[in-house]
Amino acid sequence: MTSFLKVADVDADDIATSTDAMVRLRANDLGAVIVRGVYPKEALAKLPPVLAKNAPDFVKTTFPPAFCAYFYGINLNLADSDLAPYFAAEPDFRAKLAALDFGGAPLERRITGLLSQLDEGRAYGAAPGPDGARHFFTTLRAHLTGGYIPAHFDNEAAIRPTYQHVAALCEPEIYSFVLCIDQAEAGGALDVYNLSSATDAQGFRNRDTGQPKRDLSDIEKTSIRLEPGEMVILHSSRYLHGVSKVQGDRTRWTVCSFMALAKDGSQVYCWG
């Protein structure tokens, strides 16, 4: 795809050919994995109107207004430092998400099953919280016209107070998945830049504070524009990445989670 980003392209019905993909991703032998056919496109086409009116009555949170976006579920990056409301809201969200019809296995079971198969059978699941609670496995994201995510590295998140519990459980290298439910008319691509957190992380911290932004126009990049039912897994703490501005009236709907290897290496913890 590019000279810097090595991408594995896998069909969900042929996972057996790529059972070491996550091992290779963590070892920097791969930068990303695209999984086709996670859910049938025709089944997902029924979801945008359901989500637009929030028929399941999901808990709703927002990005900063400039990003023209909102979540269903609570994103750990944007949660209040007092995580009691976060953990209290998780069981209801989990039950409602399990009841949402994606046209196949319930979302959490489907995604964790595929990731496990891509990782030599290693278990995937929501990161545990204190006192028997658990983190949100994922969030649903709506990017409206003009919606975007500025370029960033995901390992910045580990310095947030809300990450104290996760950080104690996991290795510091975070990777993430994005599953497309519906794509914008134009824009809405995952842009991955040829910049590494090993050398450039400091220059991209606190990108939402109004400080001048670095011009990335001369930096090599690759753009991954998913179709409904496709999922990308990116080593998102290693590569600078963002989402290009949504164009047109159609909302970009995605399912997104972060994840990291447990410190004992036995499993991978996920969180929204």
Q: Please say if the pLDDT value at position 224 is more than 60.
A: yes
What are the backbone angles phi and psi of residue 188, rounded to the nearest 5°?
70, 25
Question: What's the CA gap between 214 and 207, in Å, rounded?
Answer: 10
Tens-digit pLDDT profile for residues 168-201: 999 999 999 999 999 999 999 999 999 988 766 5
**Following CA atoms 108, 272, 253, 216 in sequence, which dihedral angle do they give, to the nearest 10 degrees?**
-130
In this structure, are residues 143 and 155 in contact, taking their beta carbons and an 8 Å threshold?
Answer: no
The size of the chain, in residues, is 272
- pLDDT average, residue stretch 93-117: 98
> What does the pLDDT average to over 84-113?
97
| DSSP codes of every residue in 2-63 | -SS--EEEEEGGGGGGGTTHHHHHHTTS-SEEEEE-SS-HHHHTTHHHHHHTTTT---EEE-
Q: How far apart (Å, rounded) are the C-alpha atoms in residues 50 and 53?
A: 6
- Return d(Cα 173, Cα 45) in angstroms, integer: 34
Question: pLDDT (tens digit, 9 = 90+) per residue, 9-38?
Answer: 999 999 999 999 999 999 999 999 999 999
Query: How would you classify residue 73: left for phi > 0, otherwise alpha for psi between -120 and 50, otherwise beta?
Result: left
Give me the chain's average pLDDT, please. 93
Distance, CA of 137 to CA of 93 (rounded, Å): 10
Q: How far apart are CA 265 and CA 95, in angstroms?
A: 29
Q: Which domains does the chain have, with CATH numbers?
A: 7-205+216-271 (2.60.120.620)
Among residues of the chain, what percentage have pLDDT more than 90? 82
